[in-house]
Copies of this chain bind each other. A is one copy, B any other.
């Protein structure tokens, strides 16, 4: 493989993050196969062309089918709303394109399995956008777990707390509509926690959850982008059809136990994506709002100086750090995508599947859906049921 010509569908929050990642990869990881920012695709031609110019794409098209049928595209990047993922992905792999798909892979488990199977049969590379895996501090956590330095894992506890819809007058954006978004905080935020749990601890055996929609009706949105939107207090109201918060407990196959919470109603938390792992030899804590840091506790420390140490994951000893700035000079949210695209590009160059891929997407979807089933049926659900 000597080139990687990208066709990207979607140009909002994630489209911007992906564009920036493709654009930045060659500068900071010059040895990686360089993504060509060939074609951007979206439905509103005017906005799309603005995005094309701003983000640095060569061309734009408004019909994704046109994009997929092009010979000069190697990879389709899907970051359109969740309800569009499946149809596009199936068409893309049928056309022999590699595929990068934002999470959640699909609106349900069956769809995501169909996507995985199609991609596997087509023999293309497939990746799913669990970007938080690519924080250097999370990589350090992974390294500590995998090397056994934390010992046997007992506990995983994770929260993804936001507050952007706390105001009951915040309008009914697409992320609050089940038919487009699939689910609310569960699929949007919880999905990231589930993937981190899979990455760091392993597979789950059974789950039980609960969820709540605190504000059941909201004014219709007049304008929306990213996580912000404008509404009109006097606008007609529509029903919120997704969860505002979902919590669940889990038992992992390896004997660890876990708790998960995703909510958009945690006042003061703009985006607290945090987890803690406790093992027999140590613990780690992570909070995305301080994403350059990992707190690490090791039982092997001398008995008079035991404590959680705040490791700034910007040293040469930390993955990705040398590509950036000297120790102590931090990076931000967008860098997780650059590292993600490094994995995508490297995997394609090396002829292997990127990680995380559709297998991970399916696995995440299985847990999401098992939790939903456990809520509906008010009982523990085994992952083997799914």
Residues of A within 8 A of B (CB): 13, 17, 19-20, 23-24, 26-27, 30, 50, 53-56, 140, 143-144, 150, 154-155, 157, 159, 161-164, 166, 168, 208-210, 212, 214, 226-228, 245, 247-249, 251, 255, 257, 259, 261, 263, 265-272, 276, 278-283, 288-293, 295-299, 301, 303-312, 314-318, 324-335, 378-380
Contact = CB atoms under 8 A, between A and B. Distances in A.
Nearest to A258: B247
A257 B243 CA distance: 13
A282 B267 contact: yes
Contact of A299 (B164, B259, B267): B267
A154 B245 contact: yes
Contact of A305 (B259, B290, B309, B334): B309
A51 to B, nearest CB: 10
A296 B290 contact: no
Contacts of A24: 20, 24
Contact of A143 (B54, B304, B378): B304
Nearest to A374: B208
A295 B308 CA distance: 9
Given A27-B54, A259-B247, A267-B282, A309 B312 contact: no
Contacts of A208: 208, 210, 249
A92 to B, nearest CB: 26
Nearest to A278: B266
A379 B380 CA distance: 7
B328 A330 contact: no
A258 B261 CA distance: 10
Nearest to A168: B280
B166 A299 contact: yes
A267 B247 contact: no
A305 B311 contact: yes
Nearest to A335: B332
A270 B214 contact: no
Given A27-B20, A305-B311, A268 B282 contact: yes
A13 B214 contact: no
A272 B276 CA distance: 13
